[in-house]
Amino acid sequence: MSSPPDPAVLYLDVAACGSLATALRAEAEACLGAVPVTSPGFAPLLHATVASTLPDREPLQISAWSHERRWSIRGTEPFQSMALIDGTTDDLAEAARAARAWHDGAALDDIRRAAPFVHLTGRFEVPDHDPARLTESEWQSMRQEAGELEYAWQETYQALSGCG
């Protein structure tokens, strides 16, 4: 198996900016405005985060793929670090639009409208960590996941999750 290409080669524009955070800002300055975007010191070309104004959201993670030019996002809740949204795109400006909506505290459906590549996991935010609502959120996620599976697995998964 071959090793991944050097990120500085695969992401020449990101390397020229010095970090994914700076490249995101350069790509979509009008979109991000004063939104704080940071990259870690250990892999600044491959990762960036955007905090949310909502306390019940962890910072949105934006990551560059290592074998091809694409970006992934993942937005989680802080109680169990379960994903509320995720997605992949080859358009850095589209990732910036998702980041802005996440930062601003937009509803999950509104984030999807702002950036159509965003996948809603089916989980919903439970700011008070109510156990019954957390369980409901997790079951809703499982039902959505079952609906997205290939037909052969869908029936089995639905039967296991009580969604049949």
How does pLDDT run across 35-79, given as a tens digit for each residue? 889 999 999 999 999 999 999 899 999 999 988 999 999 999 988
Say what the pLDDT of residue 64 is: 95
**Domain boundary assignment for the chain:** 7-125, 130-164
CA–CA distance, 32 with 101 (Å, rounded to integer): 9
Q: How far apart are CA 22 and CA 4, in angstroms?
A: 23
The gap from C-alpha 21 to its chain's centroid, in whole angstroms, comes to 15
pLDDT of residue 153: 56
- Residue type (1 letter), 23: A
Q: Dihedrals φ, ψ of 8, to 5°?
A: -65, -25
Say what the pLDDT of residue 125 is. Answer: 73
At residue 112, the pLDDT reads 95
Q: Which stretches of the chain score pLDDT less than 50?
A: none
